[in-house]
Amino acid sequence: MVGSTNTAREVLNVKGLTKKFGGLVAVDDLDINVKEGQICALIGPNGSGKTTVLNLITGVYKNDRGVVDFAGQHVQNLPPHTICWKGIARTFQNIRILSSQTVFQNALLGKGYGNGGVSILQTALNTKKYREATAACTEEVDRILEFVGLLDLKNEYARNLPYGKQRILEIARALITGPKLLLLDEPAAGLNSQEIHALMELIKRISERGISILLIEHRMEIVGKLADWVFVLNHGAKIAEGTFDKVKEDPAVIQAYLGRGGR
C-alpha cells in the first residue's frame, strides 16, 4: 500500500496554510499531501490545531495565508457547500447530527440543498419527476446505510442512537455526499473497544472504495494499524511526517508528546 502510493496522484495538496486567532497562531505554515487511495493521519497533542486544519480545508474558517488544492483545483476560501460538492466530506469531533430527525433524514442531508434539480413547484405538485428523484435518492441513502450497518435503524430518531452509532451515522452522512476525500475528526473518541474495531474495519472498507482519508486520531494503535502516512502537528506547525513507525521514533515528536505530559 505504502509503496504504491508514491506514484499515485495527489488528491489534497495543502501549502503554507496559516490561521491566526487574534495573537494565537493556530495553524502555522502547514504543508500536507494526501495521495489517491491513501489513509493519512493527522496527529498532535491537544490544541495543536488539528481540527482547525479540517475547518480550513472544508471552508468553515477562512485562512489567512496558504493554498489548498483539491484534485488540481484551488478550493481555499470557497463556501463550505461548494467545497463539499467538489468532493470533500467530513465528520465532526463533537458529533453534529440533527437530533430531532431520523437516521434516514440525517443521512439524506448529505445530498445537500434542494431536490436534485427538481423545482419547488414540482415538489409542491408532487410530480412524477419529483417522485422519481426522491425514489432514486432514497435508494442511494439506503445503500449507504446498509454499507455502514445502520439500515435497520433507519427510522429511529438520531437522538435515540447510542453514541457510537451516532458517529457512524455522521460517517454515513459524509459518504452520501459522494466524496473523493473523507476527513474524520477523532472518529473513535468515546467508543468502546468493540466499536473501535468495527470502526477500523469500516474505514478500511471506505478506503477500498477508492476514497482517500485524512484521519485525526489520538489513539496510536489505530493510527499504527490504519495510516499509510502520518503528519504530526505541534503548536500549529508540522514537526514530522512519514510512516507511523518512523514518526513514532522521531525525537521531536516524542518531545512534543512528553512535553504535554506524555501521551
Partner 1 sequence: MVKLFKWLKKYALLIVMLLLLAAPSVTSQYEFYVVQRGVQNAIHVLGLLILIGYSGMLSLGSAALLATGAYTYGILLVKVGLNPWVGAALAVALTTFIGTGLALPAFRLAGPFLVVTTVGFGEIVRILILNMEPITGGAYGLAGFAKLLPSTRWVYYLMVAALFLIAIAVKRIGESRLGLALKSLREDEVAAEVMGVDVRRAKMVSFALSAMLAGLSGVFLANLTGYLSPDSFTAAESASYLLMVVMGGMQSVTGAIVSSIVITSLPEVLRFLSSSRLLVYSLVLLVYLRLNWVRTGKGSLAGLMKTLGFPLGTGRAKDRS
Ligand X SMILES: Nc1ncnc2c1ncn2[C@@H]1O[C@H](COP(=O)(O)OP(=O)(O)OP(=O)(O)O)[C@@H](O)[C@H]1O
- Write out the E strands in the chain: 10-21, 24-35, 39-43, 65-70, 73-74, 88-90, 181-185, 212-216, 229-234, 237-242
Query: What gap in Å lies between CA 156 and CA 231, rounded to an integer?
Result: 38
* 88 to 107: interface string for ligand X, x by CB under 6 A: -----x--------------
Nearer to ligand X, 43 or 175 (CB): 43
C-alpha separations of 26 from 33, 132, 187, 218, 236 in Å? 19, 47, 22, 18, 5
Q: Does 85 bind partner 1 (CB under 8 A)?
A: yes
User: Least separation, in Å, of the C-beta of 25 and Mg ion?
Assistant: 16
162 binds, among partner 1, Mg ion, ligand X, none (CB under 5 to 8 A by kind): none
Q: Does 101 bind partner 1 (CB under 8 A)?
A: yes
SS3 244: helix
Residue number with CB closer to ligand X (137 or 237):
237
Is residue 52 a contact point for ligand X (CB under 6 A)? yes
Site string for ligand X, 15-34 (x = CB under 6 A): ------x--x-x--------
Closest by CA to 39, choosing from 12, 16, 59, 66, is 12
Q: Which residues inside 45-64 make contact with partner 1, applying CB under 8 A?
A: 51, 55, 58-61
Alpha-carbon distance of 34 to 262, in angstroms, equals 28
* Min dist. Cβ of residue 82 to partner 1 (A): 8
Q: How far apart are CA 197 and CA 10, in angstroms?
A: 29
Contact between 173 and partner 1 per CB under 8 A: yes
Among 28, 38, 41, 48, binds ligand X (CB under 6 A): 48
Do the strands 39-43 and 212-216 form a parallel or antiparallel pair, or are they unpaired? parallel
| C-alpha cell read off for 7 | 506514484
Give residues in contact with partner 1 (CB under 8 A): 51, 55, 58-61, 79-81, 84-85, 89-90, 92-94, 96-101, 105, 108-116, 120, 123-126, 130, 134, 137, 173-174, 177, 185
Give residues in contact with Mg ion (CB under 5 A): 51, 93
